Chain A
Amino acid sequence: GQQVMQIPQYQHVQEGEDFTTYCNSSTTLSNIQWYKQRPGGHPVFLIQLVKSGEVKKQKRLTFQFGEAKKNSSLHITATQTTDVGTYFCAEPRVRQAGTALIFGKGTTLSVSS
């Protein structure tokens, strides 16, 4: 099975600039999840999007789910050094024994002050 496509792979920004990462799938998704992994840490769940066109905000983070439910984005406004890490999207995939989460390759964000 193909991984969900995530771009860009790397992004470097100056503190205060905005940042966006995109997740694209060839199939219609039932839902999509976003995770953040700090350097040296483990992935931590951020949010889940379920509805077509859904937009959710968490402080400076804005998550969108496309109208066709084939793409999603995470936008960070005015980045801070605490935003450094790798952001993953993950899609549920129905397999033989049940539904498993398949992750994109992630976008690694670095921020210079």
Chain B
Amino acid sequence: NAGVTQTPKFQVLKTGQSMTLQCAQDMNHEYMSWYRQDPGMGLRLIHYSVGAGITDQGEVPNGYNVSRSTTEDFPLRLLSAAPSQTSVYFCASSYSRGGGLASPLHFGNGTRLTVT
């Protein structure tokens, strides 16, 4: 049981390049999300998904795209990388709950991205 798998672990991009951060989970979780972590800023929600075909913006969505074609995968696309997107990116998943409740998140090991 691998849990949440993120690839790559490290990536260096040049300004303007595009790339996709991969996230896969094998726990049959409906809910998946992407966070970025910057010093002193905590974890900020980029995008989330409550099931295949359903995605929504989080707190800091600009410059990022997502799609959810399967329950298992939730890739994060950087369209045109900028130095401000230098960060550590975490993917997380959980079972979905309604009514304003949330289930505990399972995090991947993170992707450290540097944009020069």
Task: Encode B93-110 as 1/0 by CB contact (under 8 A) with A.
Answer: 000111111101111111
**Tier of interface size on chain B:** 20 to 34
Q: Please, how many residues of chain A have a CB less than 8 angstroms from a CB on the other chain? A: 30
Closest beta carbon of chain A to B102's beta carbon, Å: 4
User: B45's contact among A45, A96, A97, A101, by CB below 8 Å, is which?
Assistant: A101
> Could you list which residues of chain B lie within 8 angstroms of chain A, going by C-beta atoms?
31, 33, 35, 40-45, 48-50, 54-59, 90, 92, 96-102, 104-110
Q: A33-B104, A45-B104, A92-B101 are in contact. List 11 more A-B contacts (CB 8 A).
A: A3-B59, A30-B100, A33-B105, A45-B105, A88-B42, A90-B43, A92-B100, A96-B56, A96-B57, A99-B101, A101-B102
9 shortest interchain CB distances as A-B pairs: A97-B56, A105-B42, A92-B102, A98-B50, A103-B43, A45-B104, A42-B107, A30-B100, A100-B48
